[in-house]
Amino acid sequence: MNASRHSSIASILNDVDQGADEYGKVSIGHIVESIGHRAFGPLVAVPAMLVVSPLGAIPTLPSILALVVAIFAVQMAFGRDYLWLPKTLANRSVDGSRVRRAVERIRPTTRKLDRWFDQRLTTLCGAVGTRVASACCLFLCLTVPPLELVPFAAALPMAAIAMFGIAIALRDGLLMLLAYALMAATFFLLLKTTN
C-alpha cells in the first residue's frame, strides 16, 4: 500500500501484520516497503512501537531499530522526500510470528490514538515542526544503546519517538507536545542512570 493512502496508524500496522503473515521471517526492508518510503511519521513510529512491544526484549534489537530511525531522521532533517535505508539494515529480519504478536499487543493502543488525536495545533506538525521533530528523534536514538543496558529502559526514548512519528502522521500538535515532554523524561532518566 502506498503511504499516501494510509489514513491511520492502525491501517499501517495492518500492512505490517499482512507482511508478517506472508513471510516466515520479516525483514526491516519488508516493513519499510509496507509503510512507504515517503512517510516519515509512520517510518519512525512503527519501529519505535515495536521496541515498546515485547520485541524490545530481544537483545540488540532496540539499538538496531534506533539506528534505522536515526538514518530516516537524518534524511528528514535535511529535507529528503524519499527515505533510503542501507541494504545491510534492510535485510535484517525478525521471526514473523513475533512481529504478529507484537502488532497484536500494540494494536489496541494505536486504535485509541487514532480516535483521540487528529488535526490539532497543526502548525507544530508543518515542515519546520517535522524537521525539529526529526532532529529530536535523532538525539533520542543516541540514548537507546546506553539505556538498553538497563532492562526495558530503552522503551522510554522509543515511546517518545513513536509519539513524534504518530503526531506527524496524524498532524496532531497536542501529541507533538506530549512527545517533547516524554523526550525530557528520557534525558532525565539518562542522567540518572549515568550518574
Q: pLDDT band for position 22 (50/70/90)?
A: low
Q: What residues contact residue 35 under an 8 Å CB cut-off, 6+ apart? A: 3, 6, 12, 15, 16, 42, 43, 46
Q: Which of 50-64, 105-119, 150-164 has the highest mean pLDDT?
A: 150-164
Please provide the average confidence, as pLDDT, over all residues in the chain.
78
Q: pLDDT band for position 151 (50/70/90)?
A: confident
- How many Å apart are CA 162 and CA 156, to the nearest integer? 10
Cell reading at 106: 500494540
- How many Å apart are CA 106 and CA 118, to the nearest integer? 19
Tell me the average pLDDT across 30-41. 71
Residue closest to 76 by CA, chosen among 165, 181, 149, 9: 165
Residue environment code for 85-99, b if the CB has 16+ CB neighbours within 10 A, otherwise e: beeebbebbbebebb
Tell me the average pLDDT across 30-43. 72
| Residue 5 predicted with pLDDT over 50 | no
* Global pTM value: 0.72
Q: pLDDT band for position 138 (50/70/90)?
A: very high
- C-beta of residue 129 within 8 angstroms of C-beta of residue 171: no
pLDDT at 32: 75
- C-beta of residue 160 within 8 angstroms of C-beta of residue 183: yes
Tell me the average pLDDT across 119-141. 84
- What residue segments make up the domains of the chain, in order of their start? 3-194
* Cα 1 to Cα 15, 84, 115, 127, 160, distances in angstroms: 7, 18, 22, 24, 26
Residue closest to 7 by CA, chosen among 141, 114, 162: 114
